[in-house]
Chain A
């Protein structure tokens, strides 16, 4: 029993980080139609920046600083690389974001070298644990779960209650109509990039003590985030969060049920490919693919 709880929490922790990545994907995808292959890089940048800042400031300040810096980075990327594209083809957008992810990774390699770093635990240390149903859970796990839950809640309120959030959803559902209604779609796109960069950076900070951060840790997260976003249906933020938790749990329990640990990563990729082939509209959607997904 305690073992199951242990695996459950480890899956939930990883899953909530995949959920953060999926959230970022979906925000950008629904607002701009771009699938940002560099999403994982935001988490890496957040973690790395926070580690560097933490040398000079207390951890909370370092985390806030990292989130602000990466948020600005996200905005700059959109303005530099995507705003000027007139009618980009899907192929063009995919290739540009892949190129960006490579360049960001390589820049990080030259700025921070290839050492594995991590923030120190927010409360306690590596050895401290909280007993839950006989299993030992690190306090950082609760930090991760709490932060992700808060982010999801705030984002949901933002998208549904605030005027800006509603404008953003209008862009997602019909850009032309949104433009006619007086919404500056260009600014909404920049905002979407900034938001998902910021959310990614925060996720990268809270998970850093557990999984460590390295210049190339973004790519793996991005793929898991894809799987999560696909599971929930691309372009739908909240189901994507659920998808993230499912992918994390599937990964953790695949090891529990005797899958060789070397193949653990293949689980998420297997889910990704299986969902794409069987239910490309996502698990929780009854309808057809979105119009945009068919042939954009």
Chain B
């Protein structure tokens, strides 16, 4: 991959993000930023999944389960009251070191003491990582249909558990999640005054994920993953520890999903079981497919745009149907994603317009030699 091109792309993306914010604020459409923020977090999940599905060729139909693990752990630990702790000496010192956090009671004048939101967030990542190891270790020995069903089953179990568990709010989910402080005066929260700041938090997070994944796919690891996708046996024969790589990628994409889920929860202030549903997992896969499978950039753009349009209600009552049609059309006609064929078209078009330049390439010379 070309480092200069990547840098240019990232710079362009940053400028675009700033331009969108300025445009939205100047034209008085600040409310767009709310959906843009949520779309950015979803795009991060899609990018992480594209690493697993696109680069490594291992399907996961249960990624909403990992999003839910991150989201619910953050929400539960940061809201569960630890009233008895605030009185003790240990509790007081923990409060001073920001291990615990107190906030005013929602109804009444007392204060509630819970685990600090930052630690709750980290706990979500840790739990998602652990569960991913536990599920991934047996699941990744399976292939194709079997892996798809195992991950689907995992996602459905998570969904049923959060739906049926009273302390996770059952069908209502958990609401009034406190803000997650990031810098002094800046927090990940849905408060209207923090809307612009939160847009940049989400954009920054997504950019960081993008950079990290671009670097990863361009490294020795990335090449190993592509080799696994090509043929697992051939990869193993060249000395790639396929099982270890697959598990690492699975865990990594699960942690990314949990991180995005956690941040989204602090931003919205609530989490419900619908975010753990199987349809959500399928949507993530649909966006990976539409982005071109093994393309972090494609996953980012498609994940962001489709989620934003869906959140704005552009698809009306055909919301789910759009994702279904995307899946069928992309897989039937361009299984490598729509951007590959598009690029070929552009390259051909350019070659035709500038024959002098194209003649310099060896590709054009071959027919002449043969003739």
Contact = CB atoms under 8 A, between A and B. Distances in A.
Interface of A: 29, 35, 81, 84-85, 89-92, 94-96, 98-103, 105-107, 109-110, 219, 223, 226-227, 230, 234, 260, 262-263, 265-266, 269-270, 272-273, 276-277, 280, 293-296
Contacts of A107: 321
Determine which residue in B142, B149, B163, B233 has the highest number of CB atoms from chain A within 10 A of its CB, and name it: B149
A177 B144 CA distance: 24
Which of under 10, 10 to 19, 20 to 34, or 35 or more describes the interface residues of B?
35 or more
A267 to B, nearest CB: 9
A295 B232 contact: yes
The DSSP consensus for interface residues of chain B is: helix
Label chain A's interface by main secondary structure: helix
Given A95-B285, A102-B320, A262-B164, A295 B144 contact: yes
Given A90-B144, A293-B143, A295-B144, A95 B149 contact: no
A290 to B, nearest CB: 11
19 contacts: A35-B145, A90-B145, A90-B148, A94-B148, A96-B327, A98-B327, A99-B331, A100-B328, A102-B323, A103-B324, A105-B320, A110-B317, A219-B278, A227-B153, A263-B161, A270-B157, A273-B154, A276-B153, A296-B144
B256 interface: no
Given A89-B335, A91-B59, A295-B144, A106 B320 contact: yes
Nearest to B165: A262
Nearest to B54: A91
B153 A94 contact: no
A99 B326 contact: yes
B331 A266 contact: no
B2 interface: no
Contacts of A103: 321, 324-325, 328
B129 interface: no
A105 B317 CA distance: 12
B211 to A, nearest CB: 27
Interface string B137-170: 0110011111011101110110011011100001
B188 interface: no
Contact of B145 (A227, A262, A293): A293
B164 A99 contact: no
Interface string B307-346: 0000000000110110111111001100100000000000
Interface string B111-153: 0000000000000000000000000001100111110111011
B272 to A, nearest CB: 16
Nearest to A289: B146
